[in-house]
Amino acid sequence: MIETGVLFNEIHSYRDLNLILSKVEVSPASPKTVYVDIPGADGSLDLSEALGEVKFSDRTLKFTFTMHPGGDLSESAWEAKKTQVSNRLNGLACQITLDKDPGYYWQGRATVDEYQSTKRLRQFVVSAVVRPYKLKQKVTVVSTAISSDGTTVTLKNSRRSVCPTVSCTNDNTKVVFDGATYVFSQGEHKNLGVRLVEGDNKATVSGVGTITFTYQEADL
């Protein structure tokens, strides 16, 4: 039995709506580029990374679903299925997870775009405008015991830069990151100076107790 499909929040296209996923289209991430023409000079000035990193526009997911060919394909069943799918999905703000890519989810809003009907085939086209990055299902948590002499922590991050939540069990916890020193008290904190980029990020922590870095990784 085919069960591959798409999860919209808690609604699965096959298990809950009995639809077969026929086609998936994911638009590429489009960078927001900024070019300024310089009179009297060759070419233009690229300001796309003027704020530190290139940004991306929203993306579009497009799914074509087919009513199960072994089911009721009568006109009344078709009308009932259109009503069900529209009520459940049209306009829904949701997390979207593809069965073929279960480690990630997209955030966006679904729209029922098309109804396509012949005597033998009943199809729905559902699209969603989503944020440019797909998010990892599991939040990354890195926890380590702190040494008074200093402990080096490696924080591995995916493509999107992110500021982690820093949790300390004791006051006067020092974190040296990217050449700057930050002092954290007991509890949870966010500091824009501690911003993880793609790859391995090194931090040196000193004090006593335990420090935990928590962050959401995301890829294009």
Q: What is the pLDDT of residues 163-186, one digit of tens each?
A: 999 999 999 999 999 999 999 999
This prediction's pTM: 0.87
- For residue 102, the model assigns a pLDDT of 95
Domains along the chain with CATH numbers: 6-136 (2.40.30.200), 140-219 (2.60.120.10)
Per residue in 29-61, pLDDT tens? Answer: 999 988 888 888 888 888 777 777 899 999 999
**DSSP string across 137-169:** SSPEEEEEE--TT-EEEEEEE-SS-BPPEEEES
User: Average pLDDT over the chain, rounded to whole?
Assistant: 93
Q: How far is CA 90 from CA 3, 93, 99, 122, in A?
A: 22, 9, 20, 18
pLDDT of residue 1: 42
d(C-alpha 171, C-alpha 167), whole Å: 11
For residue 107, what are the CA distances in angstroms to 59, 91, 98, 110, 169? 10, 13, 12, 10, 33
End-to-end CA separation in angstroms for the chain: 32
Matching residue, tokens 């310089």 = 38
- In this predicted structure, what is the pLDDT of residue 74? 86
Tell me whether strands 140-145 and 187-189 are parallel, antiparallel or unpaired: unpaired
Asked if pLDDT for residue 146 goes beyond 60, the answer is yes
Query: What is the pLDDT, as a whole number, of residue 3?
Result: 54
Residue 2: the pLDDT is: 52
Sequential DSSP letters for 168-205: ESSSSEEEEETTEEEEE-SEEE--TT--B-SEEEEEEE
Beta carbons of 186 and 171 less than 8 angstroms apart: yes
Q: What is the pLDDT of residue 42?
A: 83
Query: What is the average pLDDT across 12-18?
Result: 94
Residue 27: its pLDDT value, please? 96
Taking the alpha carbons of 146, 152, 153, 155 in that order, is the dihedral positive or negative?
positive
pLDDT tens per residue, range 98-127: 999 999 999 999 999 989 887 778 999 999
Which of 62-71, 97-106, 137-146 has the lowest average pLDDT? 62-71
